[in-house]
A and B are shown apart, each in its own frame.
Chain A
Amino acid sequence: MKFSGFRVVKEALTGHKGWGALWRNPEPKPDYDIVIIGGGGHGLATAFYLAKTFGKARVAVLEKGWLGSGNIGRNTTIIRSNYLLPGNEPFYEFSMKLWENLEQETNFNSMVSQRGIINLFHTDGQRDAFRRRGNAMMLAGADARLLDQSELRKMAPFLNFDNARFPIKGGLMQSRAGTARHDGVVWGYARGADMRGVDIIQNCEVTGFRIENGAVKGVETSRGYIGAGKVGVAVAGNSSRVMAKAGMRLPMESHVLQAFVSEGLKPTIPGVITFGAGHFYVSQSDKGGLVFGGDIDGYNSYAQRGNLPVVEDVLEGGMALMPMIGRGRLLRSWGGVMDMSMDGSPIIDRTDIEGLYFNGGWCYGGFKAAPASGYAFAHLLATDRPHETASAYRFDRFARGHIIDEKGVGAQPNLH
């Protein structure tokens, strides 16, 4: 069924009788060409592009809970391609281009909204670093603008310019950045994959891999054994747990990141704004909630919940940056499990086990990457060659010394 404004009107006039399931609830088949573990943004995007771009239909996505129940179900929905390093920037710019056509590709309105992102700077040193980054973005074909204080005052007059501990001197802006409706991304990819024959199997937890002679043959699940020509793992915060079942250790720690939303307010904040002197970033959703976050809590955790000091830290930053939000209220907070890698950058690569492929290490930035991650992982699974924009995301970069460390803090995940 094709979605369109016409269809919405027609159904409205005929009592919504014609709508059907967005996707099926199939029973698992005995085997598939490709099994994707993880029904989140990355897994579903992988399945979608495998089916649509690479013509693979005997594909299954196994999800232990409900679709989108991981980090894509709870995040601050920011999309951007404002990275510095050559290993990253082309990949995220590729992702941005996929975002820009996502609705047309999936026939589902994921509400990609390019309202821009501004990273504020407060010192000359930060400005120089942002200039280097903005130039790196432009050299990779992305857009960037360096704003001075007077331009910023016009765009965001509510920021604390005049009584700040760390005065705002300007910002690096990417106009094409913005937000997307996170659940809509899940559902768009899921529906698109399902329509093209992919079996999406919810409530199906992988409990082990069947590996013979160094090659993966299939997966044991809570719903029985499922054979597979290839297995792709895209389970974000649970990467270490799942890969341990195949006997692998990863350069990764799982950490909790909290995210927050305020009660609905009339629109005030134009795009995404990040504070350069505190731990705070914010946007406003189409429903009116301020969606914001800050640093990870900083300790290993699989608990999907965080602690109060970070809540206070985030709001200290928020109040310092935009003291006009003080009389709004926090509605809800979440904690998600982040697959924090040792250099802050992801891995999309084969493993030493034939037929087993891995996608993870997205840290707290996986949402914006989902389209390119899915595309590049599908490319790898379908062709056994890395996608050109993801060729740096290899396992062996750590041993070889080719780390992609945007922040320059080294092998300590809670600093990335």
Chain B
Amino acid sequence: MSRLQGGHIDRNAPLNFSFNGQCYQGYQGDTLASALLANDVQLMGRSFKYHRPRGVFSAGSEEPNAMVELRSGARKEPNTRVTVTELFEGLEAQSQNHIGPLNRDLLAVNDLFAPFFAAGFYYKTFMWPRAFWEKLYEPVIRSAAGLGRLSMEADPDSYDRGFLHCDVLIIGGGAAGLAAALTAARAGAQVLLADEDFQFGGRLSSESHTLDGASASEWVGQTLAELDALPNVKLMTRTTVFGAYDHGVFGAVERVSDHLATPGEGVRQTLWRITAKRTVLAAGATERHIPFANNDRPGIMLAGAMRSYANRWAVSPTRSDADAVAIFANNDDGHLTALDLMAKGVNVLGVIDPREDAPRLGNYDLFAGGVVSGTKGRLGLKSIQITKNGQSQWHDCGALGVSGGWNPNIHLSSHHRGRPVWDESILAFVPGKDGPAGLIPAGAANGQGSTAAALAGGKAAAQEALGDLGLAIRDVVLPEAEDAEIAQAAFWHVPGKGRAWVDFQNDVTVKDIDLAHKENMRPVEHLKRWTTLGMATDQGKTANISALAVMAELTEKSIPETGTTMFRPPYTGVSLGVLGGGDTGSNFRPRRLTPTHHWAAGLGAEFVEVGPWMRAQYFPKDGESHWRETVDREVLAVRSGVGLCDVTTLGKVDVQGADAGEFLNRLYANMIATLPVGKVRYGLMLREDGHAYDDGTCARLAEDHYVVTTTTANAGPVYRNMEFAHQCLWPELDVQMISTTDAWAQVAVAGPNSRALLERIVDDLDLSNEAFPFMGCAELTICGGLRARLFRISFSGELAYELAVPARYGHALMQRLMDLGQDLGVTPYGTETLGVLRIEKGHAAGAELNGQTTPTMLGMDRMVSKKKDSIGAIMSRREGLSENTRRLIGLKPVDPDAPVVAGSHLFAKGAAQDTHSDQGWITSACFSPHLGCHIGLGYLENGDTRLGEIITAANPLEGQEMQLEVVSAHFVDPEGGRLRD
């Protein structure tokens, strides 16, 4: 065990866990990384391309190497960074991306062939022979692709989403974030403090610095206690703010239960949409490394991470207490690692620092002017080569800490594509001025690296935010803290022959950058794409700046001239499940139920999804074995008796006002203003580009009162369009409208017996043909006083009515009609029968009105009134629309047993079948029980003049070809006698 003294772990709470089947023990407060290191496990994974053995490299979310498949079964999470995985009792983890045991990965053979896998090699080969790409090369490449595996089972956990609003959002709860929170909270601002870690403190938890002469954790504890007690502060740990969106909106994911074995009754994670008036970006900084030959071995990690493991988790980075630890740093900060390790009793080999004038900050061996030029130890570091003054010497070494300086975590500041600015004094990019509006960087994220500077930076940022919000600032006394200036050298990599890794996960070396330069892949985006640098799961957090520096050296330009780095959301990987917000499976979209849904369900109806609605599709009876049997029965019942169908889903818009008629005249292509009170008219709406948009009926209930119906699909859009026409085009018209689709339950009562049935429920309305003829409408009462609306309209071609009652009476109405109509043969019918009835009658529906059709195609061009202007009228007369020769026609098979298949294309008999000779297509088809054969509707070139012609319907997709006769679209009662009687 490499456990040291101290640390922020609870030694009274041991936790058992397993890695690759081996059982270990750690403590509450450990991450999987710290617990594995404490158990002397250094080898944790394999790299992507060369399958190099890898260990943990960092102590945070920037980890490039140590990723595992966490948990098992359907909860398996691939690519999970051990450095941010909280240990819990029973945790299971497996290493990933290897064949065979982790320490003997068969794919490590790739490493031997590394010279063949140089940057961009695959663009230059695998081209011959042509067919081999899909058959051989790509399958081989794909079989080696990827990192971890999905379980392939549905994610069993649930997710949630929510909205949060605050005055000041503070991203990061380290020194700067805590100082900002204290400052903003004491001023009374609504504060939201979020940190991705499971405890606040940031680097304060990892350093041995004191605040006011005491352990930093004391100040952190006091501060949190104060914040927690304030009603205007919300503290959120385990919460990553991953993206900056417009107008102060941020995306954040809270890992609610990831630190537990299972979420139990709770959710796994919550997606928060946070709206903040001001935001303090106090996300800290990420240490970078220095590439040198074979710098990727397990045991080599960032120097700051080594301090984290020692100070926070009381873990030594070596496998054995006897092993020595070395530090390779180009800056003073790295030296602190040696001091902290020595204070914990770890054996320190020394500090190698390329600066000739490097300071010695303690009692350790200093190799000033030296570099690490090589390493040994395939599965774990064994020795390092130190080169100084041209002399190289090998030293036994169990772990090496590397520090190449720190990069501010500026990511969110460039999510709006703002450019970061190079700060030569700290050799790093800091947030530019063109970041998201209202976002104020602070602390290490702003290049304020010392503890004192971070605290002061956080306070100043909060004060700036308070000032912007007009809140009075109350002074906050910050604790005394170290304020060391960190000297560093612009030393970016150790030159030499061996492979020096820049991007660990994707195996990009200095040589690859050199090759990219040689091949003119020099713009930073080309470099990235050619070498895959920075495209791994860590997004190059530890790699990008080093790569930029190498390219800058090659092009002899400065780093900012060479390019900047650009970050896009998310800051770190966010589970796809939580982004879906939990609306999965059958809850993907809400289900809208009609007023008679439960009545239909009680009759055993089958339901079908119609947009957001569930509608009864058909009502099978006992003994019916096939849906067609049911539908045929329903159709014939309507044509011979009376049928009932819920048509509530059709859109209804109530239009009232003195100018309502004039307004509707401008919306409908045909004349509406002349419609008498008590009458209904079929209406066609066009889009302004002249194409058919929607159809329905328009009923005039009073001089200043109309009811417009729309198709189910267009209920929302038509209403929106009507409001547009009123508010944006003709606001001077005295008209008001409201959608009443949900307010009225509407039932179609169709068939020869419909009048007889309705007469049994209307209170005192004369339904005789003379008193209430076809296309009549009335407001009335039924069933002894229930308010209702009756329209004598027919989609089926039969004598038919639509009866509307307040939605809450829909179920009762249906039940009453069923009860009263038994002797009349009353039959409920669903959407399938509705479809058959309207095809038999030749009424256009969605397949005919698909947005690509013109009034001319529908045979309705004469309906577009020339006596008045209406939306789309002018444009419908353009040549391409008016000269379109396709016409809606009916189709009947020559062989009465042959099917008619919607989606088939139409050709003149004997014509070649290709795009050029294509004359139309079948829009809708069904079996007609009335005619006893299949029938269809379709659009056919000059179809109106080709009645009686035999044409060919081709369905090559399913190998079908049928001979069809062109007939009138009105298969049933073409004269319309039935619906008028």
Contact = CB atoms under 8 A, between A and B. Distances in A.
A-B interaction? yes
A113 B954 CA distance: 31
A408 B580 contact: no
B477 interface: no
Interface string B73-114: 001111100000000000000000000000000000000000
B78 A401 contact: no
A67 B526 contact: yes
Given A146-B958, A263-B537, A267-B142, A3 B125 contact: yes
A73 interface: yes
A134 to B, nearest CB: 4
B957 interface: yes
Interface residues of B, number: 119
Interface string A402-416: 110101111100000
A410 B416 CA distance: 32
Given A131-B904, A409-B851, A265 B585 contact: no
B150 A308 contact: no
B957 A329 contact: no
B957 A319 contact: no
Given A22-B521, A266-B146, A9 B902 contact: no
Nearest to B116: A12
B460 interface: no
Interface string A275-288: 00110000001111
A113 B575 CA distance: 28
Interface stretch (A102-110, A355-363, A379-387): A102-110
B957 A146 contact: yes
Nearest to B957: A134
Interface string A181-197: 10110011000000000
B415 to A, nearest CB: 7
Nearest to A304: B417
A104 B130 contact: yes
A254 to B, nearest CB: 15
B376 interface: no
Interface in B141-160: 141-143, 145-155, 157, 159
Contact of B519 (A21, A67, A111, A140): A21
A145 B48 CA distance: 37
B416 A305 contact: yes
A3 B882 CA distance: 56
Contact of B576 (A145, A304, A308, A329): A329
Contacts of A7: 124-125
Contacts of A401: 690, 875, 878-882
Interface in B665-691: 687-691
A149 interface: no
Interface in B307-323: none
Nearest to B567: A332
Contacts of B537: 263-264, 329, 331
Interface in B902-953: 902-905, 913-915, 918, 921-925
Contacts of B415: 305
A75 B589 CA distance: 27
A123 B157 CA distance: 29
B479 interface: no
Contact of A329 (B143, B152, B520, B575): B575
Contacts of B495: none
A136 interface: yes
Given A20-B518, A320-B588, A408-B850, A327 B573 contact: no
B377 interface: no
A33 B416 CA distance: 39
B523 A202 contact: yes
Contact of A135 (B126, B521, B879, B954): B954
Given A108-B123, A165-B585, A305 B568 contact: yes
Interface stretch (B242-250, B729-737, B805-813, B815-823): B242-250
Contacts of B127: 3-4, 103-104, 107-109
B579 A311 contact: yes
B857 interface: no
A12 B150 contact: no
Contact of A115 (B115, B134, B879): B134
Contacts of A107: 127
B121 to A, nearest CB: 5
Given A145-B957, A315-B576, A328-B150, A136 B852 contact: no
A16 B515 contact: yes
Given A164-B586, A165-B585, A325-B150, A263 B125 contact: no
B696 interface: no
Interface centre among B577, B587, B687 (most CB of A within 10 A): B577
A112 B591 CA distance: 41
A328 B133 contact: no
A314 B584 CA distance: 12
A55 interface: no
Contacts of A265: 78-79, 146-150
Given A89-B915, A146-B958, A288 B145 contact: yes
Contact of A165 (B78, B515, B579, B591): B591
A316 B581 contact: yes
Given A286-B145, A319-B584, A308 B568 contact: no
Contact of A139 (B141, B847, B918): B918
A153 B367 CA distance: 64
Interface centre among A101, A287, A405 (most CB of B within 10 A): A287
B569 interface: yes
Interface in A364-416: 397, 399-403, 405, 407-411
Interface in B501-538: 511, 515, 518-521, 523, 525-526, 529, 532, 536-537
Contacts of B128: 4-5
A402 B693 CA distance: 17
Given A136-B905, A286-B138, A312-B161, A123 B145 contact: no
A123 to B, nearest CB: 7
Nearest to B612: A165
A328 B878 contact: no
A214 interface: no
A199 B124 CA distance: 22
A221 interface: no
A146 to B, nearest CB: 5
Contacts of A16: 115, 118, 511, 515, 518
25 contacts: A3-B123, A8-B124, A65-B523, A89-B915, A129-B850, A138-B957, A163-B154, A164-B586, A165-B586, A264-B148, A265-B150, A267-B145, A278-B588, A286-B141, A287-B532, A288-B147, A308-B245, A316-B581, A316-B584, A318-B580, A320-B588, A324-B154, A327-B78, A329-B574, A333-B243
5 A-B pairs closest in CB distance: A408-B851, A401-B880, A288-B146, A131-B903, A326-B155
